[in-house]
Amino acid sequence: MGTKARRTVALAGGLKGLLLVRTPVASDPGDIFLELFGSETSWTHREYMGHAFTCIALHLNNGVKEDCYGFYPKNDGKGAIYGPGIVRSEASHKPTRFSRTSATVKVKISEEQRRQILEAPNRWNSTNYNLSDDNCIAFVH
């Protein structure tokens, strides 16, 4: 197993240990939260490997603006082992993933951290999807 694969396996184990049952977090307008989501392996759905994705929630005076992203094979399962990858909106691409989320972890972040995180999809859109190395877990990491 290569270095990247070992790192991904370690990260997957680490995320599983970190992911907690979703609990409400008090917030004020202007607060920004990063939330990591994980779903467990399910043989009853197409996502045999489970999935990890992330959301950034900006709390406003009149509600919450939330953007959620996951990393996928670009061709929707064709080339799921290795091929072009793409970052997609979780809400528009796979909205059912939210209902199958088994655990999350949520942390407050700064505006600067938000800007840095929002740059990641651009970098990942030029990355090949590789089931053992560059996958949804590595993207969330």
In the prediction, which pLDDT does 74 show?
A: 86
In the prediction, which pLDDT does 3 show?
A: 46
**Torsion over CA of 124, 128, 129 and 133, rounded to 10 degrees?**
-90
In the prediction, which pLDDT does 25 show?
A: 60
In the prediction, which pLDDT does 46 show?
A: 59
Give the number of domains in the chain: 1
Tokens standing for residue 29 = 């307008």
Of 70, 75, 66, 29, give the one whose Cα is nearest residue 53.
Answer: 70
Task: Please answer whether residues 31 and 106 qualify as being in contact, where contact means their C-beta atoms are separated by less than 8 angstroms.
Answer: no
In the prediction, which pLDDT does 20 show?
A: 41
User: Which regions in the chain score pLDDT beneath 70?
Assistant: 1-26, 40-49, 76-79, 93-102
d(CA 14, CA 50): 15
In the prediction, which pLDDT does 76 show?
A: 67
- Whether this prediction's pTM lies above 0.85 is answered by no
Q: Could you list the residue range(s) of the whole structural domain that residue 39 is in?
A: 3-140
d(CA 49, CA 32): 30
Residue 32, helix vs strand vs coil: strand
Q: How far is CA 15 from CA 45, 46, 69, in A?
A: 21, 21, 17
Count the neighbouring beta carbons within 10 Å of the beta carbon of residue 24. 6
